[in-house]
Structure 1
């Protein structure tokens, strides 16, 4: 028996469940089989494929690179089977799963999601950060990932779908609120509401302000464009966000000269291109 023989629905389903839980006891219970039986299935699968599928890290089980690829393949196979059954019984169009951050979902891709919903497509959303979105994509848990800043690696297909200038959000009574545009040096001395250390936007902002020799203070650290703006409305400080973010009454968004545009990318695995084609059309891109 070779690897092709073992890549049958039963073996794939067993490995997909194991990959989801990374625990033999839990996965065996979900599959309604004994734990030794699951061990045997995965050991045979590993031997037939000639690759280790998981490894132990203390008490934790982690998938190897081959295991991650097999898990994604298994999820793709299950999704295609579900889609076939829906089409066979003339059910609605298959669900598309999108992984993206809250800001992207609210201000960047809200209209495309609305449009494909009007076409009868169901949308499942995974709200996560850039790393989480790409992980969900490569693991086969998401059909499309929308990420900001740098494009993803070559392991997936990607296209730029939007680019926005960065703006300073301040109280409309602030002296800078009367400007049509400001420069980085105008921010010197401000208290800023910023994302936590380690976030992509925070890293880029720290670097740009340091290069411009701008002195500033952290007024607060929160995650998400909406919360950044909300704290400005509460009088905590100013903030820098994408120009697509809507600001409430009483605040002003002033474009900043000297900061790069923030670019958004839609990424997908080639195996899921047919499923995301309609959504990519809404972004103005036809694969």
Structure 2
């Protein structure tokens, strides 16, 4: 599957804020075996956004758009998505009701301009955002399925994990179960670890195990992503790979999964 991420906003384009949303999305997708082919950053300009959406709709299979779902005049994602798809913007009574309840629970009055966040392209599928007012949505533009997400990091992260990744995996015909196993090693360079682990993926003959590395000095994170029909299938495939990684890296492995070097040192004290 060819995936593109489009990040919007003048503040991102000009470097006034660091685009941590892109790195988070790309890493999360990589963790489940979905690689990003293109990353695009676009400012708050209608013509530029339209061109970016149309181009992505021609070359990608799936596109994640981040930002531009707020209530202000420079939040343009819904408007430009509708133009790119050739459909009208319509008021989503469902999302308007959801927003009104959101404000009522917090004893706040909803501003009139928040109604803009309930204006969606006519063909949009709502992606729930239980912790904010920005309505995520999915729709087709060109040959690609587009997923529009909030710029607020915590809202994006929840929507990505709960709403978008499952849809992407289903769209790509991926197995229903995926697991990421991580090994944290110290004292070996990335190229050395790569050489030591040559052929480990072949312990799973159907190609459903993938090895990856991430260097964050002075440690190397070795990632094993395994796909399977169910959790039992995952366990069967992951066991020999994990055992072989431990065997080859030996005492250079200091921690696994969410454990850290610092945490292991504290446990040893």
Shorter-chain TM-score category? Answer: under 0.3
Higher relative contact order (CA 8 A, sep 6+): 1
* Alignment TM-score, normalising by the size of structure 1: 0.26
* Alignment TM-score, normalising by the size of structure 2: 0.28
Please say which structure displays the higher CA radius of gyration: 1
